[in-house]
Chain A
């Protein structure tokens, strides 16, 4: 599924995409050029806001921090680093012909 043109993405800023089933995915581009996609819903608040979190690292592991209660989620695995029994679903994402797609 197409998310947007790759040019639209900015390093360390997320965007949200709406899926046909009504669910939402947050897509992130890290500073080193890697792409990541996670469920957009923050499991702690239920709000669809993870795409608006600050992107950075914890001990070198790339994370996004929920803007609601500030838990960090590992971009590569969706694992919550502050509460290891919680995680968000990771989605496949790639760039093809300058377009970002969910796989």
Chain B
């Protein structure tokens, strides 16, 4: 009989548990108090960038019963029944409490006044925004954040994003008192104060009063602050208001054993509401670890909570902060090795045992790049070089060191996977070891381990070139070589192959060089490009005319219908909002193009590693909900980038509002309309490995949007590997999205003018490839099946009827030919 699991609470940890048990055979019922599905609360402050909750979404859960917006009012443990606010009663075989925590609000007089908020949910941020927008102060608004810990600085950053200058008030004598020591905190304070924050440490708010439209906060230090908004982020408390009659831990939280089980064997608790053997954790990684424990227990396993690594590495207000192990040197006899470089703005402290042999912990501020190598060494012998001034931090990691602390994956597990041949790249490592699938901070370390294990992540294109595609691009661009023969004789070996020839053809085409079927290029093209059509299984081709944005007149639709009818072509609507005509022989292609070109069509490049379509929803012109003209923009983009040869195909879409009917976030570049302009998302993918596109810029006008897309596409074209879609390219790009933004938005490399010029020249040089063949007798002559019998059709091609259309007769299998 199917057993039922009830999960109370739908935060990140509850979501992880439900996801882990997806195919376990349990019926899962989830109660979530918030009206929206679980979201990435760790990234909450980034909500301010777009005000789109979709950007924080976690992968949708399947196979569970989600009861959103429904609070649990009681649990009858004797009958094993959960009662929801709607009156619904669900019987359970196992119950998991994942109720999370509530913000701690210190008992300051005035804390309930309008304009005072906590910082925990998307709704809280919406409320803070409403307060800020209602404030009537001219210029920058003024705010106060109570709490100078990790969460407080996040909240301060969110306020900055709303145009508020924040005061950060921390009771302890320094910022981030839990993670960072005095020296590190001193530097941190100096760095964040450059960012328009005012830090008040060693004091607290003694009262908050309303004065007209303002709030006046009096600090214990005697200072008075004139404010528009107050945010409490002074810590969290485990949420246990649902009373099950269970024992609580000494600092709150449902008391559980190492298996995350309460004293009732049917009831578990995980995440911030759980006190595992009395200890509560306010970080997501230990919560995930608890979810894994319970998922294992519910699947018949015996896993227990391994203890948590509360090390942290984060970027707060652009400042790297990391803390690991015994950061405060509380171990008896512990020694500290401190390097405080006030000029460079970096601080590092290593804590070692009294004999200076064992690394115990450390603090890094300003530059935390050595965190990944240092953290796994905690509890291990410390390499002597580390303790020398300017000592190397690139040290050998012991086999049992944890590389991924979110999912507790050791170096040994990873190197085993690499050496056994199970995993040859980061993506495969993620899939088989789960390392890097939590916060992702260990991904650079995974790359390093791959290299150390001798996995030659060879960039050589093929046996004929030792260069990567990006290097060949640079060579071709710099030397202005225009033929493959020239390139392979000067920079490669042999006569080339089906890998390097089309890659070089694509590079030559990206850099101009005329029609792709020109004398020097035609022999490099894969058959699709060679015939400007898509080869099908029986040796015939399909033809796709461009229909920009999916908009087409009835007259043009009729022409397509007539052409299909006259040549007996099978027709199908594509996923990219156009029409594919199948079953044309080589000889028929030019005749078909002639009819289409005469009617105003051009090549749709369905055959090319180039822009396919820019899909669109119907937008403001018709749609009641649209906020921008999505069709108009889609057509503009499709006409701008048509014919652009790239390392792989490019797909795009434009949605006219946040409902996202055009599915832009599954595209290489997708645009979603906002009230103020456009949001640009990049590097999305459908297909084998779906990937949601990442937000690159938001609320930009059309001119800015196009400029950023120009740069993005040209940067991709110049640096990606052969047949590497934008999604894989961005995943492998050192520095990831941040680096991409630095290059194509902030122009950190100073190449944007060049990228824009290259795109401008593409746009001005564009010409329809079909027309180019029709106007050139030499190119036309190649479109014959047989050199000794022009006009004679290929006898191997035959068709049969299916649902009223012609389809190929399977080759090699005898069938009646009609």
Contact = CB atoms under 8 A, between A and B. Distances in A.
Interface of A: 2-4, 8, 10-13, 15-18, 22, 24, 27, 30-31, 41, 45-49, 52-60, 62-63, 65, 67-68, 70, 72
Sorted nearest first, the 6 A-B pairs with minimum C-beta distance are: A46-B811, A67-B527, A47-B539, A15-B787, A65-B498, A56-B497
Nearest to B505: A54
B35 interface: no
Contacts of B812: 46
A96 to B, nearest CB: 15
A59 B463 contact: yes
A10 B464 CA distance: 22
Contacts of A22: 795
Contact of B501 (A18, A31, A46, A56): A56
Nearest to B494: A57
A10 B524 CA distance: 12
Interface stretch (B72-80, B258-266, B529-537): B529-537
A17 B786 contact: yes
B441 interface: no
Contacts of B519: 10
Interface centre among B500, B519, B787, B789 (most CB of A within 10 A): B787
B792 A18 contact: yes
Contacts of B496: 56-57
Nearest to B488: A56
Nearest to B795: A22
A57 B499 CA distance: 11
Chain B interface size, as a band, is: 35 or more
A80 B811 CA distance: 20
A4 B788 CA distance: 6
Contacts of B501: 54, 56
Nearest to A17: B788
A54 B497 contact: yes
Contact of B523 (A13, A62, A65): A13
A52 B497 contact: no
Contacts of A49: 527, 535, 539
B495 A62 contact: yes
Nearest to B531: A52
A16 B785 contact: yes
Given A47-B537, A48-B796, A58-B463, A70 B527 contact: no
A46 B808 CA distance: 12
Nearest to A27: B787
Interface in B511-566: 519, 522-524, 526-527, 530-531, 535, 537-539
B502 interface: yes
B786 A16 contact: yes
B699 to A, nearest CB: 45
A45 B787 contact: no
A12 B505 CA distance: 14
A16 B785 CA distance: 7
Interface string B446-486: 00000000000000000110000000000000000000010
Contacts of B538: 46-47
B209 interface: no
B97 to A, nearest CB: 55
B483 to A, nearest CB: 12
B795 A31 contact: no
Contact of B787 (A3, A54, A62): A3
B701 interface: no
Given A18-B786, A47-B537, 8 more contacts: A17-B787, A18-B788, A24-B796, A46-B796, A48-B539, A49-B527, A58-B497, A72-B497
B765 interface: no
Contacts of B754: none
Contact of B527 (A15, A41, A52): A52
Contacts of B811: 45-47
B794 A48 contact: yes
Contact of A45 (B522, B537, B794): B537
Interface string B254-278: 0000000000000000000000000
Contacts of B794: 24, 48
A65 B537 contact: no
Given A3-B788, A54-B498, A56-B496, A10 B523 contact: yes
A21 to B, nearest CB: 10
Given A10-B523, A12-B523, A31-B495, A52 B787 contact: no
B83 to A, nearest CB: 60
A31 B489 CA distance: 12
Interface centre among A2, A41, A56, A60 (most CB of B within 10 A): A56
Contacts of B786: 16-18, 24
Given A10-B523, A56-B494, A56-B495, A4 B787 contact: yes
Contacts of A17: 786-789
Contacts of B498: 53-54, 56, 65, 70, 72
B710 to A, nearest CB: 32
A45 to B, nearest CB: 6
B108 to A, nearest CB: 71
Interface in B89-146: none
Contacts of B527: 49, 52-53, 67
Interface string B179-190: 000000000000
Contacts of B530: 52
Contacts of B787: 3-4, 8, 15-17, 27
Contacts of A63: 497
Interface centre among B502, B524, B539 (most CB of A within 10 A): B539
A27 B494 CA distance: 21
Contacts of B797: 48
A54 to B, nearest CB: 4
A3 B523 CA distance: 20
B811 to A, nearest CB: 3
Contacts of B494: 56-57, 60
A68 B811 CA distance: 13
Contacts of A54: 497-498, 501-502, 523-524, 526
A52 to B, nearest CB: 5
24 contacts: A3-B788, A4-B787, A8-B787, A10-B523, A12-B495, A13-B522, A16-B785, A16-B787, A17-B786, A17-B787, A18-B786, A22-B795, A27-B787, A45-B811, A48-B797, A49-B527, A53-B498, A54-B502, A54-B523, A54-B524, A55-B523, A56-B498, A56-B500, A57-B496
A63 to B, nearest CB: 8
Contact of B497 (A15, A27, A30, A57): A57
B534 to A, nearest CB: 11
Contacts of A10: 519, 522-523
B788 A65 contact: no
Nearest to B540: A47
A12 B483 CA distance: 14
A26 to B, nearest CB: 10
Contacts of B785: 16, 18
Contacts of A53: 498, 527
Interface centre among B463, B495, B502, B785 (most CB of A within 10 A): B495
A97 to B, nearest CB: 16
Nearest to B797: A48
A13 to B, nearest CB: 5
